[in-house]
Amino acid sequence: MYVPEESQGGIVPMNYSNKDKIPSAESGEGRPSIKENARQPNTYPTQSGKGVSQGLAGVRKAARENKEMKFTALLHHLTVDLLQESFYSLKRKAAPGVDRVTWGEYETGIEGRLVDLHSRVHRGAYRALPSRRVYIEKEDGRQRPLGVAALEDQIVQYAVVTILNQIYEEDFLGFSFGFRPGRSQHDALDGLSYALLKKKVNYVLDADVKGFFGIFTCTTVSISG
């Protein structure tokens, strides 16, 4: 199958996944705006809200129309323009990584920097740096560890996520909110509120993963019935 700006042979058939044979669980949610999640315009927003290129729109169209497709050639979609869009989507005041390069410093000579980064990625010379470990104090006094990536690593990561989102956004169910572009915890609460008020709910399951998957705890709260 040919996709605009996609090399022929970059997509090969694969078997249906189990979820393709199971009725959509979205139908139980009932919120029109979420149930219609699959019906999207021809140009799709990236994480920053800007439209994607025609080539990426073609990737998303292929992912939506044929669930048997397996994408194996996506690197050419990582362009200098996408790297630039990714750079300007990063937080300007974010703490630097192990490279100690700030957003403002990298912006100086940005065109040449991104052309060089693009070249290194495509010829296989790009190597990610270790993340810098920092600790954020929590309300209970404990410290939460965070990894701060080097600036160029953040740019590449953002660009790769933008590309992969064109595929995975077509697989997510309407009531999935975590780490998705254009969705937040407020949208999740809105969906939960609608379900509790409009649907027959017997239980609410609250699950939490603590200590980096060391301890799994969950709490079940009976709502009705």
Q: How far apart are CA 187 and CA 29, in angstroms?
A: 13
User: Which residue, chain included where needed, has tokens 């690197």?
Assistant: 75
Q: Which residues, at least 6 apart from 158, have a Cβ–Cβ distance to it below 8 Å?
A: 47, 86, 89, 90
pLDDT of residue 208: 67
| pLDDT of 29 strictly over 70 | no
- Encode pLDDT of 34-52 as tens digits: 333 333 333 445 555 555 6
Q: In the prediction, which pLDDT does 18 show? A: 37
User: Residues 118-164: pLDDT tens digits?
Assistant: 999 999 999 999 999 999 888 888 888 889 999 999 999 999 999 99
Q: What digits encode the pLDDT tens for the residues 164-184?
A: 988 888 888 887 888 888 888
With a threshold of 0.85, does the pTM exceed it? no
Output the pLDDT for position 51.
59
Q: Does 20 or 135 have the greater pLDDT score?
A: 135
* Residue range 66-115, pLDDT digits in tens: 888 888 889 999 999 999 999 999 999 999 999 999 999 999 999 999 99
Identify each DSSP E strand in the chain by its residue range: 11-13, 69-71, 132-137, 143-148, 203-210, 215-222
Q: Summarize the confidence of residues 199-224 as an average pLDDT.
A: 61
Dihedral sign computed on CA atoms, order 160, 164, 39, 34: negative
* The predicted structure's pLDDT at residue 131: 94
The pair of three-digit structure tokens given for residue 168, joined into one six-digit string: 């995975």
